[in-house]
A and B are shown apart, each in its own frame.
Chain A
């Protein structure tokens, strides 16, 4: 596709519900990132995939958060038993390659705004 796409754009969940957020990266991009952006803050790193391998999940705030990218393309971020503090915008980004250099430039999707009531 032309850019990174995410769905749904908005999600309202009742506390305790499970949610799944989808990311379609730019076609051919090896690297995929998930970030969380709280209101009035900059995005913060959650997890990183290189193809289908999850190489870094150091930013996931709890074991209720789980991400996968089984075929090295589309990724899903799942949050179990949602809590009010999970309310945020979840951003997905992709880049063409790894290592250093211009192919590392990250491109972001429009985000999913999650509201937990």
Chain B
């Protein structure tokens, strides 16, 4: 099956710092989503980005589908950005099911 790897596995930042999270995947995809799982366990949608670049406030993401990777940029980090960031993909030719395969996650801690 498709492999989804994220790096770094964990990251500690001071408030106000910038960071880049990476997601590599081993096969062509129809769908790629970035999520933030907050300390209460809720998965919050950040981006639906199978290709191209999107920005939403302090966050932006870029997916280069031909090279099978995606990047999530966090600028001017805040303590509320803490949590686990997941990349999830739907494999192209995965059949009728649009199931997501999740990466290993990046645990982010932003210190005041």
With both beta carbons as reference points, the residue of chain A lying nearest to B87 in the complex is identified as A42
Report chain B residues within 8 Å CB of A105. Answer: 31, 33, 45, 48
A residues 51-101 in Cβ contact with B at 8 Å: 55-56, 58-59, 89, 91, 93, 95, 98-100
In the complex, are the beta carbons of A42 and B41 less than 8 A apart?
Answer: no
B residues 82-108 in Cβ contact with A at 8 Å: 86, 88, 90, 95-105
In the complex, are the beta carbons of A45 and B41 less than 8 A apart?
Answer: no
Interface 1/0 per residue, A89-117 and B, CB below 8 Å: 10101010011101011111011010000
Report chain B residues within 8 Å CB of A43. Answer: 43, 86, 88, 100, 102
Which of the four size classes fits the interface of chain B?
A: 20 to 34
* A contacts with B: majority SS: strand
Query: Is B66 close to A, CB under 8 A?
Result: no
Query: Is B42 close to A, CB under 8 A?
Result: yes
B residues 7-25 in Cβ contact with A at 8 Å: none
Q: Which of A50, A58, A59, A106 contacts B33 (CB 8 A)?
A: A106
In the complex, are the beta carbons of A42 and B102 less than 8 A apart?
Answer: yes
With both beta carbons as reference points, the residue of chain A lying nearest to B30 in the complex is identified as A100
Instruction: Take A104-B30, A104-B31 as given contacts and tell me if A91 and B43 are in contact as well, using a CB distance cutoff of 8 Å.
Output: yes
With both beta carbons as reference points, the residue of chain A lying nearest to B103 in the complex is identified as A42
**Interface pairs A-B: 3 shortest CB-CB:** A42-B102, A56-B97, A108-B43
Chain A residues packing against B (C-beta within 8 Å): 31, 33, 35, 42-45, 48, 50, 55-56, 58-59, 89, 91, 93, 95, 98-100, 102, 104-108, 110-111, 113
Chain B residues packing against A (C-beta within 8 Å): 30-31, 33, 35, 40-43, 45, 48, 86, 88, 90, 95-105
What are 11 of the A-B contact pairs (CB < 8 Å)?
Answer: A42-B88, A45-B100, A55-B97, A56-B97, A95-B98, A98-B98, A104-B31, A104-B48, A106-B33, A110-B42, A111-B42
